[in-house]
């Protein structure tokens, strides 16, 4: 396995059918040619991802979008103009050229246009979209640096394209534009409020049925740091815990009772964007700290704070 910044090499590997790890502004992805089911199947194998969980396809721009989707619907153009390239994925009716494996059998496909410059450079060299979920084992914390990917997959992938630390650090916000009303299916790197401003009306948030499979709790447990995590009103619980062996994740304030080196204050200046970009690294960092439990406070229920709370809630489900 090699880590480097050579998009020609990444592009050649992808064209020859390999899986390559790619940087994006949200998190690092495990990418393959989205038009070839066998190549996409390698991603599911590597991640041990269940086949009912669909992947997002990535394109440099919407120029070729109509090759892959049947209809953009009435809202796509305004959202694309405002937010793409960037941390938003659009669910649209798919054309037959997109294999069913990519969409887990859904008649719709999620499409994103990443803004990361190296990712853009790579996508522009390819004449197919990249199917890419986050480059971690299923259910674990998403990687926001090339080194996180190398740790998770030391042998299995030939190349990690290194684009530095992910600027946003949370997965994309997913909006379903395939039915009459736009519906946000996953909170992520773009706040719901910003979408509402562009559409000029309130937008519903409903968890997608694919994140809500019949076996309860399967996907509600996600982002596991490998250590029990408690999320919510934590003050009282910290008082009753073994504080020497507890870690904390807080927004801007230190937590007096906990040893400093076991605390992760995500943004001392109170900036939710900064906090979001540090969340996954913070979760990951407790592996090396000697703690038995992580207490994560509730973040403000607005903007990226809602996506942070969503990830922490799911990290708290064992
Ligand atoms: P990620 O794990 O970040 O690659 O994002 C993939 C997630 O996107 C899935 O778990 C689904 O929640 C969502 N998704 C992708 N494609 C679709 C689709 N066609 N319909 C609904 N949700 C989708
Ligand atoms: Mg993921």
Residue whose structure tokens are 């050229």: 97
The preferred substitution site among 185, 280, 307 for testing ligand 1, maximizing ligand atoms within 8 Å of CB, is 185
Reported as a pLDDT band with limits 50, 70 and 90, residue 213 is very low
Helix, coil or strand: residue 56: strand
Q: Is it the case that residue 205 has pLDDT exceeding 70?
A: yes
Q: Name the percent of the chain lying above pLDDT 70.
A: 96
- Nearest ligand, measured from the Cα of 24: 1
The pLDDT, as a whole number, for residue 249 is 98
pLDDT over threshold 60, residue 217: no
CA 299 to chain centre: 19
Number of H helices, E strands in the chain: 10, 15
Q: Could you give the percent of the chain with pLDDT greater than 90?
A: 91
| Nearest atom in ligand 1 to 103's CA | 19
Q: What pLDDT score was predicted for residue 290? A: 87
Give me the pLDDT at residue 221, please.
78
Please write down the long-range contacts of 133-136, taking CB distance under 8 Å and 24 or more positions apart: 133/29, 133/30, 133/43, 133/47, 133/49, 133/53, 133/55, 133/56, 134/27, 134/28, 134/29, 134/30, 134/171, 135/21, 135/27, 135/28, 135/29, 135/30, 136/47
Name the residue of 131, 137, 174 whose CB sits within 8 Å of the most ligand 1 atoms, as the mutation to test its pocket. 174
Angstrom distance (rounded) from CA 136 to CA 46? 9
**Residue 207: predicted pLDDT:** 73
- 70 in Cβ contact with 92 (< 8 Å): yes
For the segment 150-163, the average pLDDT, to the nearest whole number, is 97
Q: Whose CA is nearest to atom 10 of ligand 1?
A: 53
Would the CB of 174 count as within 6 Å of ligand 1? yes
**String of b and e for 160-185 (b: at least 16 CB within 10 Å)?**
bbbbeebbbbbbbbbbbbbeeebbbb
Model pTM score: 0.94
pLDDT, tens digit, for every residue of 41-68?
999 999 999 999 999 999 999 999 999 9
The answer to whether residue 7 scores a pLDDT higher than 60 is yes
For residue 178, the ligand closest to its alpha carbon is 1
Ligand located closest to 55 CA: 1
* pLDDT confidence of residue 209: 59
Closest CA to 110 of 65, 155, 169: 65
Rounded mean pLDDT of the chain? 94
What residue owns the CA closest to ligand 1's atom 13?
Answer: 54
pLDDT value of position 222: 85
Ligand 1: residue of 40, 135, 208 to mutate (most ligand atoms within 8 A of CB) is 208
Return the pLDDT at 215. 42
Q: If you measure from the C-alpha of residue 66 to the centroid of ligand 1, how many angstroms do you get, rounded to a whole number?
A: 20
* Cα of 186 from ligand 2 centre, angstroms: 12
Q: What tokens appear for 165 in the block?
A: 């630390």
Bigger pLDDT: 4 vs 257: 4
- Structural domains in the chain, CATH included, are 2-205 (3.90.870.10), 229-315 (3.40.50.11030)
Lowest mean pLDDT: which of 112-116, 191-195, 212-216, 249-253? Answer: 212-216
Ligand 1 and 185: CB distance under 6 A: yes
What confidence score (pLDDT) does residue 317 get? 87
As a whole number, mean pLDDT of residues 192-200 equals 97
CB atoms within 10 A of CB 29: 30
Kindly tell me if the per-residue pLDDT of 206 is higher than 50: yes
pLDDT computed for residue 208 by the predictor: 63
pLDDT in tens, 92-142: 999 999 999 999 999 999 999 999 999 999 999 999 999 999 999 999 999
| 54 CB near ligand 1 (under 6 Å) | yes
Q: Which burial class, exposed, middle or buried, applies to 240 when counting CB atoms under 10 A from its CB (0-12, 13-18, 19+)?
A: exposed
pLDDT category at 211 given cuts 50, 70, 90 is: low
Mean local confidence (pLDDT), 269-276: 98
What DSSP state is assigned to residue 245? G
Decide if pLDDT at 15 tops 50: yes
Kind plus residue range of the DSSP H or E element containing 57: strand 56-58
């Amino acid at each position: 396995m090699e880590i480097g910044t050579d998009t020609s090499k990444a592009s050649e590997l992808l064209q020859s059918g390999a899986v390559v790890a790619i940087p994006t502004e949200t998190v690092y992805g495990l990418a393959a040619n989205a038009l070839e089911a066998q190549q996409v199947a390698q991603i599911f194998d590597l991640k041990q991802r269940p086949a009912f969980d669909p992947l997002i396809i990535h394109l440099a721009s919407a120029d070729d979008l109509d090759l892959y989707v049947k209809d953009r619907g009435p809202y796509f153009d305004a959202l694309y103009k405002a937010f793409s390239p960037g941390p938003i994925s659009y669910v649209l009716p798919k054309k037959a050229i997109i294999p069913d494996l990519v969409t887990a059998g859904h008649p719709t496909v999620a499409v994103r246009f990443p803004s990361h410059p190296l990712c853009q450079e790579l996508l522009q060299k390819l004449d197919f979209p990249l199917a890419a979920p986050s480059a971690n084992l299923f259910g674990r914390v998403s990687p926001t640096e090339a080194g996180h990917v190398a740790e998770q997959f030391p042998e299995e992938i030939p190349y990690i394209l290194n684009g530095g630390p992910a600027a946003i650090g949370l997965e994309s916000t997913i909006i379903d534009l395939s039915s009459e009303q736009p519906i946000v299916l996953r909170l992520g790197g773009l706040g719901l409020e910003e979408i509402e401003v562009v559409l000029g009306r309130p937008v519903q948030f409903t968890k997608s049925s694919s994140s809500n499979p019949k076996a309860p709790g399967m996907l509600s447990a996600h982002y596991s740091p490998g250590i029990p995590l408690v999320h919510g009103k934590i003050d009282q619980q910290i008082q009753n815990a073994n504080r020497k062996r507890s870690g904390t994740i807080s927004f801007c304030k230190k937590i007096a009772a906990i040893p400093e080196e076991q605390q992760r204050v995500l943004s001392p200046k109170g900036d939710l964007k900064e906090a979001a970009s540090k969340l996954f690294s913070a979760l990951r960092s407790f592996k090396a700290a000697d703690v038995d439990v992580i207490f994560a406070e509730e973040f403000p229920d607005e903007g990226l704070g809602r996506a942070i709370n969503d990830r922490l809630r799911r990290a708290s489900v064992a």
